[in-house]
Structure 1
Amino acid sequence: MEQFAIFQRTNWMDQMQNLRGAIAYFLICCGLSVAVAGAQESKSVPLNSDSPSFSLSTGSSFSATGKSNSAPLARAAPIKAITSDVREAMDIIDRNHITGVQRNSERVFAIAINQMLRELDPHSAYHTRSEFRELTNDNLGQYFGAGITVADFKRDGKNGTYIISVKKGTPAYIAGLRFGDKITKIDQLNIQERNSDEVRDRIRGPEGSSVTIEIERADGTRKSISVRRDRVLQLTVPSSFLMKEGVGYIALTEGFSYTTATEFASALGRLKRSGMQALVLDIRGNGGGLMTQAINIAETFLPAGRVIVSERGRTRAVDREWRSRNPHPETMPLTVLVDENTASASEIFTAAMQDNDRAVIVGARTFGKGLVQDIIPLSDGSGLTLTSERYYSPSGRSIQ
């Protein structure tokens, strides 16, 4: 999940009304055997900035004013025809298919649009309302849930999901959930054969709602505990400490959210006050997030004027370059730990350190995601992450 200036909707909302219809028509023409639902809420975001009725200006807003008075009228006719054809096709499918489409309309639509986006690049995606809400919360460094971390372990030959940490002051802590508890049911659903990711997703939910978690303690006793979901802050720098005299360790393993640079600065300052003279920064497993936060942290270690990253889009007008503006960077020795799951914004930081000869990079070959996505909210609460640029390291390397 990856850049990320949020796009604000202006007067292009009228054209959004045909998105689902246009996408459905595209998929039908391509012969994809996917039933696209939701025609009753047809919405359209024109994705081609070359269209005279749609332009993407530098900054963070869409413009649909156009330069020609006749172009919008000329474009409206085929869009209206496409929408009409799709409505008719969807009506036939819904009335004659063995199951219809309305029952699973959101899921079917998500499959359809993601099928189209996959033909463009591997990282653009459509997100349903619940998925987009979770994406937004992740970027804000928060979620709504219980405040526990779970993981899968095998005990006595059987797999199970166990609580490996409980944050103090969270709903889970207040309700009495503790480290080592095995989760056996969630709202009466047996989750013995479910993985920890699904268990986590079932525990999360709307703020203020409740979830009943059945646990098994180490002594074999079972308890059902009701937890009222609340806002939980999700730290992206979960740990930092002195490994030995003078050498500090910071784990930046949980992505880059709006709070990451602040969290990192706090951990760095605390370790320096404790006598740190060299730093090991662990970004293994960090799949990326907000690019601006990675740039801010890179700036901590690079002197003013050094290139951090550049972006190149469809036109030169959207190309950008970021340079450090820090007149007094940190000069302590720096080692960065990476692995095959270090991706996107994490790779931006790593490449900036490597190309500027600022750090020793240790670990495995990183993921290789050199595309930047813009987050585009849609009017029904769903959204798109749409690839808009490639990023390049200070030496001009593309990571993709």
Structure 2
Amino acid sequence: MPWFARPPCALLAFLFFLPAVQSLAEQSQAPLPLEDLRTFVEVFERVKNTYVEPVSDQQLLENAIRGMLENLDPHSAYLVADDFAQLQESTSGEFGGLGIEVGMENGALKIIAPIDDSPAERAGIAAGDYIIRIDGQSAQGLSMMEAVNKMRGKPGEKIRLTLVRDGGQPFDVELTRALIKSKSVRSRLLESGYGYLRISQFQQGSGKETKNALVRLKKSNNNQPLQGLVLDLRNNPGGVLQAAVEVVDQFVASGLITYTKGRQTDSDMRFFASGKDNSEGVPLVVLINEGSASAAEIVAGALQDHHRAVLMGSTSFGKGSVQSIMPLSQGRALKLTTALYYTPNGRSIQAQGIVPDISVARGRLVREQEGIFNVKEADLAGHLDNQNPKAPTAEASGKAEDGDYQLSEALNLLKALNVLQGNQNKL
């Protein structure tokens, strides 16, 4: 894959580079608009010479690159060296910080979800909280990467976040940074014969962790096959595509898992099961909600299309695009949306999400509060449209109860399925 050298740092060098850019454009049969390029150079020169404070050529060019990418869709971005290093850390599952997934909503920094067993989770930080100050300094106007940079740091260092929850009064939370080894898969027995497996995000190794968790659950069940399993993908923001494929592969023996389609031929990929169901066909309920995104939707959609699981909860986030990471010079990288992914039956999830088979809300009080801050892919400025017909929407039902109502209903469904299966065997 060809890479271009670092951008020129002087206006003269940039002007010298224009004929080469034009030549490349002619080769692709899509000539660049020279008048617009002249306008760009004119603006570049005016800003450099007349802006109230001195601005370097490098800063101006990097800002232009960021603007070029950020106006494509919400997920394409230009990553400087620190940003690229942090992205690599997050996919490897180890970094110094607080353990929170964050996003931007109308210019405000919003917590998508705390990572399991992290300083943020232990401090009681919740999905939907807004960060308004970091160590006393306003978070207003910060980009997401700038805010992340401020919150990450050496383990043992303290930090104070000022949060707003559900439109209430601001409150402070003091946290101590830690080495976040975000174990993506956790499991336990809910009761004899019924297991629970949660995947908080998809990292390198999540597939192997899922396989090992299935083995542990069987051992915990006196080495007897499970009668049912709940796979919890709620508030899972996604992650590595290959990890999602490997997780599905633990539950289906054959067939297509997902495929991607883009403009370039190398963006068209198909992923298939390897031939073994390591879950031994255990009855499966998958929990999803509006915080289940990207790779989590790949897993849910594949298991739904294969009729391998019953999906329960609420309609997922709706991020059906694939981002390719393209390394550049000086440790930088380009994160570019290059394809859309599809479920085995050809459904695009983009801006629509996965609709569960059975809609169950967390509870009436929680649902009403969450509705204030509910945001999905279709709400993000510049999101890619879905070319498929509009998918049906799910009407959530449920009642306010203490505890995890969705998980309780999933367990009840698994028990009911076993009762029905037992009755059929007697006939």
Shorter-chain TM-score tier:
0.5 to 0.7
1:243 corresponds in structure 2 to 190
1:96 aligns with 2:50: yes
Letter in 1 for 2:181: L
2:181 corresponds in structure 1 to 233
1:249 Cα offset (Å): 0.9
Distance 1:142 1:112, change over 3 A: same
3-state SS of the aligned residue for 2:234? coil
3-state SS of the aligned residue for 1:350? helix
Distance 1:370 1:212, change over 3 A: closer
1:124 aligns with 2:58: no
2:204 corresponds in structure 1 to 258
3-state SS of the aligned residue for 1:135? helix
Distance 1:213 1:393, change over 3 A: closer
8 Å CA contact 1:308, 1:393 repeated in 2: yes
Pick aligned residue for 1:140 from 84, 92, 96: 92
1:390 corresponds in structure 2 to 340
Distance 1:80 1:283, change over 3 A: same
Q: Distance in 2 between matches of 1:279 and 1:349?
A: 15
Q: Distance in 2 between matches of 1:119 and 1:320?
A: 26
1:324 aligns with 2:273: yes
Q: Distance in 2 between matches of 1:272 and 1:117?
A: 47
Q: Distance in 2 between matches of 1:98 and 1:347?
A: 48
Identity score, percent: 31
For each residue in 1:204-248, what CA deviation from the matched residue of structure 2 results, as whole angstroms up to 9, or x when unmatched?
22x69x735589xxxxxxxx99x8x885422112x3211111111
How many corresponding residue pairs? 305
Q: Distance in 1 between matches of 2:88 and 2:61?
A: 21
Pick aligned residue for 1:204 from 134, 146, 152: 152
Distance 1:190 1:258, change over 3 A: closer
3-state SS of the aligned residue for 2:316? coil
1:398 Cα offset (Å): 1.1
| Structure with the larger RCO, 1 or 2 (CA within 8 Å, 6+ apart) | 1
8 Å CA contact 2:115, 2:182 repeated in 1: no
8 Å CA contact 1:354, 1:361 repeated in 2: yes
2:286 corresponds in structure 1 to 336
8 Å CA contact 1:251, 1:281 repeated in 2: yes
1:364 Cα offset (Å): 0.8
Query: Normalising by structure 2, what TM-score?
Result: 0.58
1:98 Cα offset (Å): 1.1
Q: Distance in 2 between matches of 1:286 and 1:178?
A: 14
For each residue in 1:306-349, what CA deviation from the matched residue of structure 2 results, as whole angstroms up to 9, or x when unmatched?
11011112155642211111234420011100011211111111
Letter in 2 for 1:126: Y
Distance 1:391 1:129, change over 3 A: same
Query: Normalising by structure 1, what TM-score?
Result: 0.61
Q: Distance in 1 between matches of 2:34 and 2:297?
A: 44
Distance 1:344 1:19, change over 3 A: farther
Letter in 2 for 1:16: A
1:295 Cα offset (Å): 0.3
1:362 Cα offset (Å): 0.4
1:88 Cα offset (Å): 6.9
Q: Distance in 2 between matches of 1:242 and 1:268?
A: 11
1:154 corresponds in structure 2 to none
Letter in 1 for 2:205: T
Distance 1:110 1:361, change over 3 A: farther
Q: Distance in 2 between matches of 1:333 and 1:377?
A: 42
Distance 1:213 1:123, change over 3 A: closer
Distance 1:16 1:86, change over 3 A: farther
**How large is the RMSD of aligned CA atoms in angstroms?**
4.7
1:86 Cα offset (Å): 6.0
8 Å CA contact 1:303, 1:328 repeated in 2: yes
1:218 corresponds in structure 2 to none
1:219 corresponds in structure 2 to none
8 Å CA contact 1:300, 1:326 repeated in 2: no
Letter in 2 for 1:236: S
1:278 Cα offset (Å): 1.4
8 Å CA contact 2:116, 2:182 repeated in 1: no
Unaligned runs of 5+ in 2: 103-113, 126-133, 162-173, 351-427
Q: Distance in 2 between matches of 1:350 and 1:298?
A: 9
